[in-house]
Amino acid sequence: MVSPAIALAFIPFLMTLIIRHRHYFLLFWRAVLLRKVRDYVTGLSREERAFQYVMTHGIPGDPENILSTFDTWCYHSEYLSNVGPEKGKILERLIYEKVPLTLLELGTYCGYSAVRMAQTLPLNARLYTVEMDERNAAVAEKIIRLAGFDEENGECRGVEQIISPSDEVIPHFRERFGVDKFDFVFMDHWKRCYLRDLQLLEDHNLLQEGSVILADNVIFTGAPHFMQYAKSCGKYRWKIHRTHLEYFHYIRDGMAELTYVGLK
């Protein structure tokens, strides 16, 4: 049994640990503990609760307002792993610069990043966004429609949602959707799938010289095997955009920008 003197000696150490890593404790509270409590009390997922807030407070057909309303919820109520405003600006800037016509998003989640991309796309561009979780996909569909991007409003900038595991849909993109190559790929799904899906895109010849792959969360929580491959395989030029975790300015994170150069 631990003596009171030994227990008291650990108090300064524990207090220092909590203070130094308080932002991670806060993230754990908001992303895990608070979520479980509210899931139980409301009977809804946090993604569904977020949609209810956005539907109540957002302006339909105004993408910027929908995004800012989403951000307000995430800053002040519950944490959601959207790309967020800081990284979202990097995503938008790259789309403005590269002017891609065929885009692939892996990890629709709640539709936040799909809306960010859709409002930035050229009028004749097409975004295919893939989500394996049916419940999250249902929220994303409603968010995308609420922002004004759907097949019924005459908008040329199309968003096509695909509910499927990424490794099952990537090999069949060409025959199912008539996509020859992707100009831009945004990865924001399970980090352990980044390398597998990048290699699937290569194996099925869905990348061309100049195709851009933007991968989120390569520092927190990290995708080390993906980054090691990107740096060593000789198929990509790469750089890291150093940012912060979405909605947590004191936790460092980053996005990896890869440009496909093919085999030399």
Catalytic residue of the set 71, 188, 253, 257: 188
Q: Is 217 a catalytic residue?
A: yes
Which token pair is 177? 């959707």
Q: Is 231 a catalytic residue?
A: no
Catalytic residue of the set 183, 246, 253, 257: 246
Amino acid identity for residue 139 in this structure? V
Pairing of strands 102-106, 236-245: unpaired
Run of H or E including 166: helix 166-169
Contact call for residues 186 and 241 (beta carbons, < 8 A): no
Instruction: Count Cα neighbours of 5 within 13 Å in the Cβ-side half-sphere.
Output: 0
Instruction: Count Cα neighbours of 86 within 13 Å in the Cβ-side half-sphere.
Output: 19
Catalytic residue of the set 48, 78, 183, 191: 191
Catalytic residue of the set 131, 141, 197, 216: 216
Q: Return the closest-CA partner of residue 61 out of 183, 153, 187.
A: 153
Q: Is 191 a catalytic residue?
A: yes
Q: What is the largest CA-CA distance in the chain?
A: 73
Q: Is 153 a catalytic residue?
A: no
User: From the DSSP assignment, how many helices (H) and strands (E) are in the chain?
Assistant: 12, 7
Q: Is 246 a catalytic residue?
A: yes
Catalytic residue of the set 48, 82, 136, 217: 217
| Active-site annotation, residues | 188, 191, 216-217, 246
